[in-house]
C-alpha cells in the first residue's frame, strides 16, 4: 500500500508567503519523570496552556501556574499525592528548587524569573477502580454499566483505562444517568462514592442508582397543521419510551414534512399530559403543535465563488425551479450534488432575503487549487519499499473534469498511470474514465510487463451498490520466464477485452470493518473481434462477512473464486501468462509470498492456475484501543486445467498477527505457517503490510 504524505508542492492559485517572520525567543520548559511520551505530552500541554504568560522569561506567577497545571493533570489521571519539583536558574543567582504537592501551598519568592525551568515529576501511586458495585440498577446489564466507569472492551486494560479520580467519577455518573434517561427513565439519578481505604491505589466504588418510573408515550397527536399541506402519520410514534431524543426526532420529522411543503420557518412545540403511574410505568399523552408560518416560493438561484467552473455545469447539478415552493431539503440535496463534483473545498447556502414570501438561494462556493502534487511512500512484504509522486488537476476546462498522474517505484516494480475522469458523462449517476497505464513487476517466476489504455463507465446504483463496464486494449509480455510453460509464454501478446462488474458494500467501515458484508462479481472477456490476438474469459466472484463476537472480538470471513475459460479458441496454448492466477501473499494465503502458492509442474517450477478458490477466516481480539491480535486460517484450492475444476490441489496456512489501527487502515504484522508443504515451499512467511486483507 502507498501512503499519501499530503505534501502539496504548489498551486497556481497560491499566494506568496512572506517567510521573514520574526522569531521570538521563549523561555525553555522541560518535563521529566513520566517517560518519553508522557514528558512530551505534558510539555506540549504547558506550552499551549500558558499562553502569553510564557515570554522570554517565566516569572513566579507563570511557574506557579505551570506547577498547578501539572498537579491538576496528574490528579485527573488518578495519581495520589503527586509531587512536582521545579528547578530554575535565575539570572546571576544560584539554581533554586521548589516542591509542589496536591495542596499547592508552595509560594515562590518575588521578584523571580528564569529563562529555563525543569519540572521533575513524581506521580506517586495511581488510584484505580478495583471493584464496582451497583445498587438499584435493573434496566442495564451490569457489564454494560461498568463500561461507563472503566474500560471493558479490551483483553488487557491498562491502569490508565481503570484510573480513579473524583472528576472522572462525576462524569461517569452523568453518562450512566444519561444512558438511563435515553431508555425512558426521565427521573433517573446516579450517585457514586469511593468506599474503603484507597491509600494503596485500589479503590472500590459503590454506585447508587434510582431509576424511577419509565416514561411511556400512550398517545401522540399533531395540532396546527390544519389549512396547510403538512401531513404525517403519528401512529408509529406512540407506544414508545418517552425520551428527549424521541421528542427531538418527532419534532424533526414534523418539521421535515413542513419544509417539504414549502414552510421553511416551521416551529414545533410539545406539551406532555401525564397519566397515573402504575407498575413502574408513567404514561404520557403528547400533543405536538406546529406553527407553520407563511408559505415561501423560490425566487431564483445564484452562484458565488465559481471563478473557473462553468455555470452550466452547476445548473445541471442544482435542478431547482424558480416559482416552485421553497423546499430546503431539495436545496441541501443540490448542495451535496455540487460537493460531489470534487472541485470545491466548501459549498454553503444562503437565503436572500432571509425572510418574506419569496426568497432566492445563493450557493457560495470555494474552489480547490487547480493542481497539486503529493509525495508517496509505503512498504509491503513482497515489493518492500515504495515511493512515488502523484500529480492531480481539478476542474479542467471549467467542467469539473479531473486528471491524475501517478508514478510509483518499488524494489520490485515500476508503475505509471494517467487517468482522466468526467463526472456525469451520461446522467447524474454515470461517470466516465479514460486511462493510460504501464507496469513492470518482478513476479516470483517471471517479469511482468503490461502497457495499455482503457475507457470505462461507472454507475452508482444506490445503497452501496456500484456497476462498471469498460474496454481495455493492452500489450502483455513476460521476461526471465522460469515457468514450466515458459516455451509458450515468453512472447508479446496484444489483448482487446471488455470488462463488466458490480460491487455491493454494506460494511460499517471499509478500512476497519467490524460488521456488515461486501461482495463483488466481475467478468473480463477478450476476443480477436475486439482488436486482440487471443480469446479468453476470466470470471471472478467474492465477498467478505464481518460480525462481532462479544464486546472485544470479531469474526472476519472471506471467500473468493476465479476461473478462466478460452471459449472461441481451439485451445488454451496461447493464454497469456499475465492473465493466469498466481495466488499467495498478505491478501491471499499468508503462508506464502506473492505468487508462491501457484501450482507447480513436474520440474518444481510454477504454473499459473486456471481456477482458484480462496477461503480466509480470522478471529480478531482487541488488546487495547488501537492494538489487536489476530488468529487466522487461510485455505487455497487451485487447478491448472478446467478438467480438474474447481481445484485438484489444496494448501492451508494458519497464523498469528498483531494490528495497529490507523486512519488509513490497520498496520499488520502477521506470520503464516504452512500445514501442507510441497517440495520447495517455505515453512512459513512473515508479512508486514497496511490495509485490511480482504
pLDDT tops 70 at residue 630: yes
Mean pLDDT of 540-558: 94
Phi, psi of 314, rounded to the nearest 5 degrees: -70, -40
What pLDDT, on a 0 to 100 scale, did the predictor assign at position 28? 86
pLDDT tops 80 at residue 366: yes
Specify if 454 maps to a domain.
yes
- For the chain, how many structural domains are there in total? 5
Per-residue model confidence as pLDDT tens digits over 45-83:
888 888 766 678 888 888 998 999 999 888 888 888 889
36 and 177 housed in the same domain: no
Look at 427 and 505; give whichever has higher pLDDT: 505
Per-residue model confidence as pLDDT tens digits over 272-310:
999 999 988 999 999 999 999 999 999 999 999 999 999
What pLDDT, on a 0 to 100 scale, did the predictor assign at position 332? 94
Specify if 402 maps to a domain.
no
Q: How far apart are CA 44 and CA 483, in angstroms?
A: 58
C-beta separation of 317 from 427 below 8 A: no
Mean pLDDT of 608-621: 96
171 and 220 housed in the same domain: no
pLDDT tops 70 at residue 599: yes
C-beta separation of 680 from 484 below 8 A: no
Specify if 184 maps to a domain.
yes
What pLDDT, on a 0 to 100 scale, did the predictor assign at position 547? 96
Adjacent-strand bridge partners of 219: 285
- Which of 92, 125, 158 is the C-terminal boundary of a domain? 125
CATH code, domain carrying 43:
3.10.20
The three-class DSSP label of residue 303 is strand
What pLDDT, on a 0 to 100 scale, did the predictor assign at position 155? 62
87 and 166 housed in the same domain: no
C-beta separation of 88 from 57 below 8 A: no
Adjacent-strand bridge partners of 414: 409, 440
Specify if 181 maps to a domain.
yes
What pLDDT, on a 0 to 100 scale, did the predictor assign at position 5? 39
203 and 316 housed in the same domain: no
Judged by average pLDDT, the poorest of 8-12, 84-88, 92-96 is 8-12
Mean pLDDT of 403-418: 95
What pLDDT, on a 0 to 100 scale, did the predictor assign at position 135? 94
Provide, for the chain, the percentages of residues in helix, strand and coil under a 3-state DSSP scheme, each rounded to the nearest 5.
Answer: 15, 45, 40
587 and 438 housed in the same domain: yes
Query: For 556-589, what is the HEC assignment?
Result: EEEEEEEEEECCCCCCCCCCCHHHCECCCCCCCC
Mean pLDDT of 401-410: 95
Specify if 4 maps to a domain.
no
For 34, half-sphere exposure in the C-beta direction (CA atoms, 13 angstrom radius) is 23
Burial class (CB in 10 A: 0-12, 13-18, 19+), 675: middle
Closest CA to 597 of 655, 540, 647, 637: 637
- Which of 258, 273, 291 is the C-terminal boundary of a domain? 291
What pLDDT, on a 0 to 100 scale, did the predictor assign at position 237? 94
Specify if 612 maps to a domain.
yes
430 and 484 housed in the same domain: yes
Per-residue model confidence as pLDDT tens digits over 197-235:
566 778 889 999 999 999 999 999 999 998 888 989 999
Mean pLDDT of 543-569: 93
Q: Which long-range contacts (CB under 8 A, 24 or more apart) does 432-435 make?
A: 432/456, 432/457, 432/458, 433/457, 433/458, 433/470
161 and 277 housed in the same domain: no
**Quick one: which H or E segment has residue 543?**
strand 536-548
The secondary structure of residue 663, as a DSSP letter, is T
Specify if 379 maps to a domain.
no
Specify if 16 maps to a domain.
no
549 and 666 housed in the same domain: yes
Q: Is residue 570 very low, low, confident or very high in pLDDT (cuts 50, 70, 90)?
A: low
Q: How far apart are CA 682 and CA 597, in angstroms?
A: 10
Q: How far apart are CA 334 and CA 332, in angstroms?
A: 5
Per-chain mean pLDDT for the chain? 88
For 173, the domain range is 127-210
540 and 656 housed in the same domain: yes
What pLDDT, on a 0 to 100 scale, did the predictor assign at position 77? 84
Per-residue model confidence as pLDDT tens digits over 309-345:
999 999 988 989 999 999 999 999 999 989 988 899 9
CATH code, domain carrying 271:
3.10.20.310
pLDDT tops 60 at residue 489: no
pLDDT tops 60 at residue 86: yes
pLDDT tops 80 at residue 21: no
What pLDDT, on a 0 to 100 scale, did the predictor assign at position 43? 86
Q: How far apart are CA 33 and CA 572, in angstroms?
A: 70
Q: Is residue 482 very low, low, confident or very high in pLDDT (cuts 50, 70, 90)?
A: low
Q: What percent of the chain has pLDDT over 70?
A: 92
pLDDT tops 80 at residue 420: yes
What pLDDT, on a 0 to 100 scale, did the predictor assign at position 4? 42
The three-class DSSP label of residue 161 is helix
Q: How far apart are CA 92 and CA 113, in angstroms?
A: 11
- Which of 210, 225, 244 is the C-terminal boundary of a domain? 210
195 and 266 housed in the same domain: no
192 and 120 housed in the same domain: no
For 660, half-sphere exposure in the C-beta direction (CA atoms, 13 angstrom radius) is 4
Q: How far apart are CA 336 and CA 317, in angstroms?
A: 9
502 and 617 housed in the same domain: yes
Q: How far apart are CA 627 and CA 154, in angstroms?
A: 9
For 156, half-sphere exposure in the C-beta direction (CA atoms, 13 angstrom radius) is 7
Amino acid at each position: 500500500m502507498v501512503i499519501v504524505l499530503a505534501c502539496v508542492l504548489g498551486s497556481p492559485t497560491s499566494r506568496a508567503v512572506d517567510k521573514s517572520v520574526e522569531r521570538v525567543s521563549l523561555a525553555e520548559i522541560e518535563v521529566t519523570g513520566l517517560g518519553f511520551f508522557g514528558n512530551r505530552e505534558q510539555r506540549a500541554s504547558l506550552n499551549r496552556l500558558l499562553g502569553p504568560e510564557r515570554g522570554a522569561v517565566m516569572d513566579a506567577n507563570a511557574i506557579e501556574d505551570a506547577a498547578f497545571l501539572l498537579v491538576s493533570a496528574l490528579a485527573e489521571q488518578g495519581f495520589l499525592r503527586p509531587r512536582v519539583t521545579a528547578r530554575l536558574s535565575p539570572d546571576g543567582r544560584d539554581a533554586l528548587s521548589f516542591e509542589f504537592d496536591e495542596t499547592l501551598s508552595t509560594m515562590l519568592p518575588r521578584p523571580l524569573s528564569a529563562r529555563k525551568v525543569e519540572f521533575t515529576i513524581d506521580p506517586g501511586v495511581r488510584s484505580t477502580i478495583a471493584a464496582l458495585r451497583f445498587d438499584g440498577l435493573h434496566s442495564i446489564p451490569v457489564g454494560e454499566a461498568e463500561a461507563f466507569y472503566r474500560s471493558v472492551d479490551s483483553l488487557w486494560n491498562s491502569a490508565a483505562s481503570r484510573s480513579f479520580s473524583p472528576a472522572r467519577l462525576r462524569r461517569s455518573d452523568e453518562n450512566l444517568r444519561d444512558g438511563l434517561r435515553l431508555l425512558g427513565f426521565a427521573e433517573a439519578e446516579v450517585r457514586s462514592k469511593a468506599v474503603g481505604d484507597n491509600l494503596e491505589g485500589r479503590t472500590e466504588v459503590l454506585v447508587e442508582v434510582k431509576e424511577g418510573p419509565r416514561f411511556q408515550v400512550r398517545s401522540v397527536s399533531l395540532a396546527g397543521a390544519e389549512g396547510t399541506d403538512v401531513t404525517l402519520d403519528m401512529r408509529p410514534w406512540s407506544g414508545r419510551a418517552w425520551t428527549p431524543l424521541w421528542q427531538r426526532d418527532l419534532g424533526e420529522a414534523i418539521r421535515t414534512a413542513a419544509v417539504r411543503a414549502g414552510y421553511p420557518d416551521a416551529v414545533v412545540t410539545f406539551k406532555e399530559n401525564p397519566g397515573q403511574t402504575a407498575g413502574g410505568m408513567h404514561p404520557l399523552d403528547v400533543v405536538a403543535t406546529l406553527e407553520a408560518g407563511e408559505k415561501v416560493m423560490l425566487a431564483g438561484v445564484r452562484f458565488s465563488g465559481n471563478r473557473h467552473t462553468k455555470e452550466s455545469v452547476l445548473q445541471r447539478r442544482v435542478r431547482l425551479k424558480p416559482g416552485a415552493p421553497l423546499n430546503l431539503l431539495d436545496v441541501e440535496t443540490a448542495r451535496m450534488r455540487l460537493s460531489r463534483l470534487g472541485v470545491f473545498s466548501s459549498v454553503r447556502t444562503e437565503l436572500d432575503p432571509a425572510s418574506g414570501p419569496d426568497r432566492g438561494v445563493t450557493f457560495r462556493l470555494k474552489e480547490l487549487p487547480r493542481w497539486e502534487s503529493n509525495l508517496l511512500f509505503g512498504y509491503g512484504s513482497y515489493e518492500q519499499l515504495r515511493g512515488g509522486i502523484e500529480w492531480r488537476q481539478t476542474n479542467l476546462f471549467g467542467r469539473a473534469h479531473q486528471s491524475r498522474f501517478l508514478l510509483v517505484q518499488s524494489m520490485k516494480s515500476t508503475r505509471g498511470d494517467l487517468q482522466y475522469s468526467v463526472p456525469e458523462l451520461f446522467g447524474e449517476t454515470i461517470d466516465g474514465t479514460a486511462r493510460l497505464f504501464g507496469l513492470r513487476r518482478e513476479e516470483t517466476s517471471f517479469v511482468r510487463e503490461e502497457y495499455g489504455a482503457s475507457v470505462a463507465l461507472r454507475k452508482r446504483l444506490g445503497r452501496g451498490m456500484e456497476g462498471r463496464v469498460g474496454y481495455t486494449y493492452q500489450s502483455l509480455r513476460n521476461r526471465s520466464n522460469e515457468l514450466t510453460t515458459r516455451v509458450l509464454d515468453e512472447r508479446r501478446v496484444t489483448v482487446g477485452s471488455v470488462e463488466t462488474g458490480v460491487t455491493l458494500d454494506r460494511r460499517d467501515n471499509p478500512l476497519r470493518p467490524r460488521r456488515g458484508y461486501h461482495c463483488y462479481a466481475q467478468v473480463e472477456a477478450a476476443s480477436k473481434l475486439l482488436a486482440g490476438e487471443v480469446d479468453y474469459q476470466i470470471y471472478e466472484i467474492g465477498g467478505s462477512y464481518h460480525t462481532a463476537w462479544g464486546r472485544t472480538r470479531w469474526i472476519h470471513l472471506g471467500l473468493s473464486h476465479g476461473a478462466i475459460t478460452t471459449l472461441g479458441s481451439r485451445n488454451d496454448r496461447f493464454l497469456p501468462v499475465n492473465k493466469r492466477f498466481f495466488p499467495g501473499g498478505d491478501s491471499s494465503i499468508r503462508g506464502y509470498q506473492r505468487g508462491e502458492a501457484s501450482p507447480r509442474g513436474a520440474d518444481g517450477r510454477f504454473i499459473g492456475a486456471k481456477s482458484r478458490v480462496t477461503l480466509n477466516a480470522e478471529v480478531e481480539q482487541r488488546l487495547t484501543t488501537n492494538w489487536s491480535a489476530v488468529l487466522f486460517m487461510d485455505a487455497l484450492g487451485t487447478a491448472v486445467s478446467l478438467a480438474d475444476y474447481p481445484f485438484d490441489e489444496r494448501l492451508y496456512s494458519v497464523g498469528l498477527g498483531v494490528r495497529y489501527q490507523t486512519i488509513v487502515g490497520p498496520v499488520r504484522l502477521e506470520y503464516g505457517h504452512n500445514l501442507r508443504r510441497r517440495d520447495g515451499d517455505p515453512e512459513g512467511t512473515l508479512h508486514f503490510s497496511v490495509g485490511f486483507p480482504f
